[in-house]
Amino acid sequence: MTHSCHIDFTQPLTAGATRLRHRFEAPREVLVAHALHEVSSVLDAVFAAAQQGRWCVGHVRYEAASAFDAALQTHAADGPLVWFAVYDAPQPGTDDAADAAAAATPAQVVWDDSPEREAFDAALAQIQQAIAAGELYQVNYTAPFRGTLQGSPQALFAALLRAQPGGYAAYLQAGDEQVLSVSPELFFDWLDAPEGGTLLARPMKGTAPRGATPEQDAQQAEHLRTAPKERAENVMIVDLLRNDMSRIALPHSVQVPALFATQALPTVWQMTSDVTARTRPGTTLTEVFAALFPCGSVTGAPKVRAMQMIRALEPAPRGVYCGAVGVVRPGGAAGPDGLHPVAATFNVPIRTVVLRGVGTGAGSGADASPVVAEATCGIGSGITSGAEAGAEWAEWHHKRAFVERASAPFEVLETLGLHHGKFVHADQHVRRMGEAAAHFGFAFNAHAVRQELQIAALQHRDGDWRVRLLLAADGSARAEAFALQTTAVPVRLQLAPRPFAAAHSEFVRYKTTRRAHYAAFAPTTPGVFDTVLWNEAGEITEGTFGNIAALIDGRWVTPPLSCGLLPGVGRAVALQDGHVVEAVLRVADIPRVQGWAFINSLRGWLDATLDA
């Protein structure tokens, strides 16, 4: 069994917060604790190995908590409580080539629909009853959702890194499991020293979705910073961490230098706070874990009662999720005794996928189907007295978006009109493609993209063409041309029979080849050109492949981006030219509409009718 590992961690205690990015192969040994009584001795061995100049990469399961305090109740573990591979040193150089190969290899995960909303609501009700009874202040309630991977685990990790860049990412080939963690949350960063160590914890508590526009995004961040519920949730955990850190801190050294900071992640805003301390001379890694583990942000407060409730409500062990994943390494030159100071950085493994049963599918050799594995990913949130089931359920879906983005390959897409060798609005399309590439973490070279368009134009000098411009994750672009048929006007539109649940998805705000959510609403009635979509608030948004305008109260209006729609190039041109203005248009307003239009860059403005 190979034990390859990869870490890509921020180093918050290092000047400039430089990244710790290394790969590891062929460990000299693997240290494993299967029983609670083995946990401390394995962590002691990890600490000793780092003092001797070695690098240790691994994880501590959430269920190891009882090894430090029997009052911290958990389910029985479903795997090793502690697992660390010990290496003499990282591999020289970087693994950019391996990353590029993995990124180019497809990987797909099909997830189930768990958990069920009814069970979720019931659990929240029990938690809030306990809070009302004065038993506790907060519980971090979580649930796993499960799926099946087809493709390379390394390719899935590369996709997860694009979906959740920065932070504290680790890939562990840990025995029978592969741990793919792209957590944005720091558990602790610790640098030991003879005169006392430096310890930083950065709990993450408080979440808001990203906005559809820069203005809405800023409003979401400000709401997160100022909302009493979010601030209360955060400060509860900060107080818990202050108390935990005081157990190993020099007197009066525990400080909170940053409180209620907001961090922009691709799919959500998160609130973090910093808690620092000076650890007592002679503190060991085991003592740091005994004081802090598990992180209060994934338990609740008080920790003992919150963990009792978690065990009662959650039917299965959490595993690596909500435990700790990290690296323990030499933190400087060896002293006179030949021992190095120790540096340790651990994340809280949220945004983490664990794979089991990795193997090939049917067939063998060249005929074998792609690697398949069971995948598990946990999602959770902190429940306080002010929590509302609907809002918490929505937060779970916002947090789940990172893994859904990574679970199937896709390309960024632009559709352009090419008329007798000349593109329509090419600059706007290339600019929008660049914005989408930046959002999804795709490589992007505007010059190379324009070259692809130029080649397509030279090859199709005559006639009218629909050109699909596609951008892959590695930055490679290609253009595909198809003959464009004339569209007879007015075109017929139909109203969607149900709300468009994906209206506020990033796969609506940015145009990609992932379009199943649109395809589900594509018209099937002969003669109908497109479907008018509307969101769960009853606001009209767009069509399945273009924007919508309506003549109402004597003016042409098009829905604002805040309703949940693609910022179409044709729409932008119509707004700039003053043909339309932005205004919310509701399904209830339809009887007052005097005229309809379909707008996109490819076909321009098409007069339309809406079927009653």
Q: Which helix (H) or strand (E) segment is 199 a member of?
A: strand 197-202
Q: What are phi and psi of 609, to 5 degrees?
A: -125, 150
The Cα 345–Cα 190 span in angstroms is 6
171 within 8 A of 179, measured Cβ to Cβ: yes
Catalytic, out of 185, 230, 452, 506 = 185
183 within 8 A of 348, measured Cβ to Cβ: yes
**Among 295, 239, 230, 296, residue whose Cα is nearest residue 263:** 230
Cis-peptide into 490, omega within 30 deg: yes
393 CB burial (10 A radius; 0-12, 13-18, 19+): middle
61 within 8 A of 79, measured Cβ to Cβ: yes
Q: Dihedral of CA 275/224/217/442: which sign?
A: positive
518 within 8 A of 540, measured Cβ to Cβ: no
DSSP string computed for 442-511: ----HHHHHHHHHHHHHH--SSEEEEEEEE-TTS-EEEEEEEPPPPPSSEEEEE-SS--TTTTSHHHHS-
Q: In what order do the strands lie in the sheet with 464-471?
A: 422-423, 412-419, 464-471, 477-483
The Cα 359–Cα 346 span in angstroms is 29
The Cα 407–Cα 384 span in angstroms is 31
Catalytic-residue membership of 205: yes
Full 3-state SS string of 347-407: ECCCCEEEEEEEEECCCCHHHCCCEEEEEEEEEEEEECCCCCHHHHHHHHHHHHHHHHHHC
Q: Which helix (H) or strand (E) segment is 225 a member of?
A: helix 214-226
What's the length of the chain?
A: 612
Residues 6+ positions from 15 with CB-CB distance below 8 Å: none
Residue labelled with tokens 């307003």:
589
Residue labelled with tokens 């991977």:
149
Catalytic, out of 25, 29, 38, 205 = 205
CA atoms within 13 A on the CB side of 587: 16
Question: Active-site residue numbers?
Answer: 185, 205
